[in-house]
């Protein structure tokens, strides 16, 4: 494994020959969120077709897939692999990796954290999206997705990409929250995970998942670089978090503290640069490609009080988790074979498992811990960097 201090300089495919800019209205006030009438379109109001909940063993497992960069399947070559791997390597290697991970981990939910397709190289964005998500759909496993900075660079607009995703089978993705009439981006939504069926927590959300569109590229002339999470999105997050916390602390089974929350988006926050090799688990092999301005979303999450971990992609050669102000900031590491990488450094995926506590009468209660590890796309799907992200008693300890 490469040393964390050896930062690799990369000619990143994050910034293409042409950087398409899509005109999002920059939020200028907190009044951007309004309430919509009951006849809001079905595409916006779409709700998950099935209730997500913890399984009979008191666990809920999430597979994070970051930066597939899928294009045209068999004809799309792999990048940054060993010479012995070049022949016959294509997008299909990415699909096979997903299939292997599904078989090995049997996740309750798969989360795709952006740059799902590298649309610049795809002849037909819709077909590329279908192929990219096909393993999850075929496995009939619920899945969610957010957008990266490359998904919209083909035959579909950013809104069009998210609408297409929402229309696919078995997804719990949403175009945008039904209560937000005006909100920046596409793919801002939350998903509630209920307790074990038949338990006292069956009808309570004991784990809350937040998904946000971190944008693509800045549309402000004097601010270069990547996009960011806008004030309208932050206000939606604050309101949603507060509402979920109030519900969790009300009967039945009223709790004294909030249910843990996990947040997923593509572009890392500037705070991901706060760590050095002494205070994270994993590796940092490239710079932190966040927005060039800090819009305060990390502070917003700290103030909310329920967020325990944030998961991003974007920087393919970083796969670390580090804790800051009580929140774990985690990369997944690059997954896709048509994405830039490092020859000899395996593609990888992150797994997160939330576990419930046992009650005195032998039933299942609230979440007691959240753990994570990564798996490498090698012969044995080697598991590395096991770590406790959060527990009721402590946080951030390495799992021995």
Q: In the prediction, which pLDDT does 361 show?
A: 85
The CA distance from 84 to 87, in Å, is: 7
**Is 198 or 24 the better-scoring residue by pLDDT?**
198
Confidence check: pLDDT of 43 > 70: no
The percentage of residues in the chain with a pLDDT greater than 90, rounded to a whole number, is 82
User: pLDDT band at 180, cuts 50/70/90?
Assistant: confident
Mean pLDDT across 191-218: 96
Q: In the prediction, which pLDDT does 25 show?
A: 33
Q: In the prediction, which pLDDT does 389 show?
A: 98
**Burial grade of 129 (CB within 10 A; 0-12, 13-18, 19 or more):** buried
3-state secondary structure of 224: coil
Mean pLDDT across 129-151: 98
Confidence check: pLDDT of 94 > 80: yes
Confidence check: pLDDT of 162 > 60: yes
Tokens describing residue 361: 């009468």
Q: Kindly report the pTM of this predicted structure.
A: 0.89
Q: In the prediction, which pLDDT does 13 show?
A: 52
HSE-up of residue 385 (Cα within 13 Å, Cβ side): 25
- With CA atoms as reference, report the closest residue to 372 among 355, 393, 347: 355
Runs of H (alpha helix) within 157-313 = 158-166, 231-248, 297-304
Q: To which H or E segment does residue 389 belong?
A: strand 383-391
Average pLDDT in the chain? 89
List, for residues 274-330, the tens digit of each pLDDT value.
999 899 999 999 999 999 999 999 999 999 999 999 999 999 999 999 999 999 999
Three-point CA angle 374, 321, 70, nearest 5°: 55
Radius of gyration of the chain from its Cα atoms, rounded to whole angstroms: 20
List, for residues 343-353, the tens digit of each pLDDT value.
999 999 999 99
- Length in residues, the chain: 400
Confidence check: pLDDT of 399 > 50: no
Q: In the prediction, which pLDDT does 286 show?
A: 98
List, for residues 2-17, the tens digit of each pLDDT value.
343 344 444 445 544 3
């Amino acid at each position: 494994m490469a040393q964390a201090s050896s930062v690799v300089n990369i000619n990143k495919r994050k910034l293409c020959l042409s950087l398409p800019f899509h005109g999002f209205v920059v939020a200028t006030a907190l009044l951007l969120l309004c309430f919509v009438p009951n006849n809001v379109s079905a595409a916006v109001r779409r709700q998950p077709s099935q209730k997500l909940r913890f399984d009979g063993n008191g666990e809920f497992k999430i597979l994070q897939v970051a930066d597939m960069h899928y294009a045209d399947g068999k004809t799309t070559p792999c990048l940054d692999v060993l010479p012995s791997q070049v022949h016959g390597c294509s997008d299909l290697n990415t699909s096979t990796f997903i299939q292997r991970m599904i078989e090995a981990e049997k996740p309750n939910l798969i989360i795709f954290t952006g740059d799902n397709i590298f649309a610049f190289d795809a002849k037909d964005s819709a077909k590329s999206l279908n192929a990219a998500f096909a393993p999850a759909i075929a496995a009939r496993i619920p899945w969610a997705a957010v957008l990266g900075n490359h998904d919209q660079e083909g035959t579909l607009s950013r809104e069009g990409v998210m609408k297409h995703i929402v229309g696919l089978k078995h997804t719990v993705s949403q175009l945008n929250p039904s209560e937000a009439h005006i909100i920046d981006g596409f793919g801002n939504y939350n998903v509630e995970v209920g307790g074990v069926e038949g338990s006292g927590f069956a009808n309570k959300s004991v784990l809350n998942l937040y998904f946000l569109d971190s944008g693509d590229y800045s549309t402000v002339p004097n601010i270069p670089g990547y996009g960011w999470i806008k004030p309208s999105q932050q206000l939606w997050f604050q309101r949603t978090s507060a509402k979920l916390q109030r519900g969790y602390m009300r009967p039945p089974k009223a709790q004294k503290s909030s249910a843990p929350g996990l947040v997923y988006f593509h572009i890392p926050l500037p705070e991901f640069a706060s760590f050095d090799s002494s205070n994270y688990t994993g590796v940092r092999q490239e710079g932190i490609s966040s927005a060039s301005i800090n819009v305060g979303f990390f502070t917003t999450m700290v103030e909310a009080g329920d967020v325990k971990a944030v998961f991003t992609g974007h920087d393919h050669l970083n796969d670390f988790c580090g804790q800051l102000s009580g929140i774990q900031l985690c990369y997944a590491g690059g997954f896709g074979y048509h994405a830039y990488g490092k020859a000899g450094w395996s593609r990888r995926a992150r797994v997160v498992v939330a576990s419930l506590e046992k009650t005195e009468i032998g039933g299942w209660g609230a979440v007691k811990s959240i753990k994570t590890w990564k798996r490498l796309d090698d012969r044995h799907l080697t598991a590395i960097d096991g770590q406790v992200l959060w527990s009721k008693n402590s946080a951030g300890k390495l799992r021995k």
